[in-house]
Amino acid sequence: MLQDQEAHALQMERTFIAIKPDGVQRGLISEIIERFERKGFKLVAIKLVVPSKTFAQKHYYDLKDRPFFNGLCNFLSSGPVLAMVWEGEGVITYGRKLIGATDPQKSEPGTIRGDLAIVVGRNIIHGSDGPETAKNEINLWFKPDELTNYTSNQEKWTYGEH
């Protein structure tokens, strides 16, 4: 069993994570990055941007028929957003676990939203919800040459032999 684990081939994934304007303004950037970094995930892209409203509407296109869509897009475009791409095994699903439920009232303690936010309209962070959205969101927010490719020095210690 141990041998299987040590021999496993790495199944790297990438996900799009963004600290929304409320998280940036509340000084939570380092706290949030630390949680992803400490877990062992690898940062491959990062930038601070103020998205236009049109850009926010593209990002949240799937929610265009929801009553809160306009307010949500106004909010996302109201200030700097820290856009990031994180890489690692299972990072899409586990990133969502680190983030917690959409409504911070329902997020478990220990999660980012559970520990650091109170209301759904100011839940401080976004994370892709599946492989397709991850791909689309990374392509929307980043140009290919903004995504780095490197081997982390800690990889062999985080994953073992492979």
Closest to ligand GDP by CB, 33 or 120 = 120
Does 42 carry a binding-site annotation?
A: no
Helix (H, G, I), strand (E, B) or coil at 121: helix
97 a known binding residue? no
Annotated active-site positions, please? 126
Nearer to ligand GDP, 68 or 139 (CB): 68
Nearer to ligand GDP, 70 or 148 (CB): 70
Annotated ligand binding at 20? The verdict is yes
Residue 55 annotated as part of some ligand binding site? no
Measure the CA–CA gap between 125 and 32, rounded to whole angstroms: 9
H helix runs in the chain, sequence order: 2-7, 21-25, 29-39, 53-59, 69-76, 91-99, 112-116, 131-141, 155-159
130 binds, among Mg ion, ligand GDP, none (CB under 5 to 8 A by kind): none
Which listed residue (36, 123, 141, 142) binds ligand GDP by CB under 6 A? 123
Q: How many CB atoms lie within 10 A of CB 136?
A: 17
Q: Which pair of tokens denotes residue 92? A: 């899409």
Q: How far is the CB of 26 from ligand GDP (least distance, A)?
A: 15
Least distance between Mg ion and beta carbon 60 (Å): 8
126 binds ligand GDP (CB under 6 A): yes
Kindly give the pairing relationship between strand 81-89 and strand 125-127: unpaired
What is the rounded distance in angstroms from the CA atom of residue 11 to the CA atom of residue 8? 9
Asked whether 95 and 22 are in contact (CB, 8 A), the reply is no
**Nearest to Mg ion of 20, 42 (CB atom):** 20
Structure-token pair, residue 25: 């303004």
Q: Does residue 15 touch ligand GDP according to CB under 6 A?
A: no
Q: Which residues bind ligand GDP (CB under 6 A)?
A: 63, 68, 72, 102, 120-121, 123, 126, 129
Q: Name the binding residues.
A: 20, 68, 96, 102, 113, 123
